[in-house]
Every structure is written in structure tokens, then in C-alpha cells.
Amino acid sequence: MFSPVTSQNAKRAAVRKALDAHKVYITAQSFSDGAYRARVLVDGEAYWVDEFRLAQLRQGLSPAELELTPAADD
């Protein structure tokens, strides 16, 4: 039995799962010589990324897939 309520709950669960997959928080930004850099926090780990890598993270790629190394403690 697949009722409209069950269908709606399944859709909401799928959206919730996608949104919680990994969140990208920008903790610092810098603009130098025309280049953009952002320090981002993903799943509790900080990384320095350029604009292209930031876009990829926001699309759902993980830092491991992008071969990012954690930022050194400041």
C-alpha cells in the first residue's frame, strides 16, 4: 500500500537526507591579486579552497573526492 501520505513522507526524507549530506560553512574569505580564497568547514574539518573548489563542494562533492588537505591550525 503506497498512500499519498507515505509518498510525501518518503520525498521529505529524501530531501532531508540530501540537505544533511554535508554542509559547507564559509568561515573566512580573502581576495588577493584578483584571486578568491575561502576557508570552509566541512564535516568538522577546515579547508582553504578557491572559487571553483567551493562550487564543487556546494554541488555535493566531498573533500576526499577533491583531494583537499585540511588547513593548518591558525
Q: Walk along the chain (74 residues) in steps of 10 and give the mean pLDDT of each run.
A: 82 80 89 94 93 93 93 76
Which residues fall within 8 angstroms of residue 23, CB to CB, at 6 or more apart? Answer: 42
pLDDT for position 74:
59
Phi (first) and psi of residue 49, to 5 degrees: -135, 160
- The CA distance from 51 to 37, in Å, is 7
Provide the pLDDT for residue 68: 95
Question: What pLDDT is attached to residue 2?
Answer: 67
- For 14, the 3-state DSSP assignment is helix
Locus of grid cell 549530506: 21
CB 12 within 8 A of CB 4: no
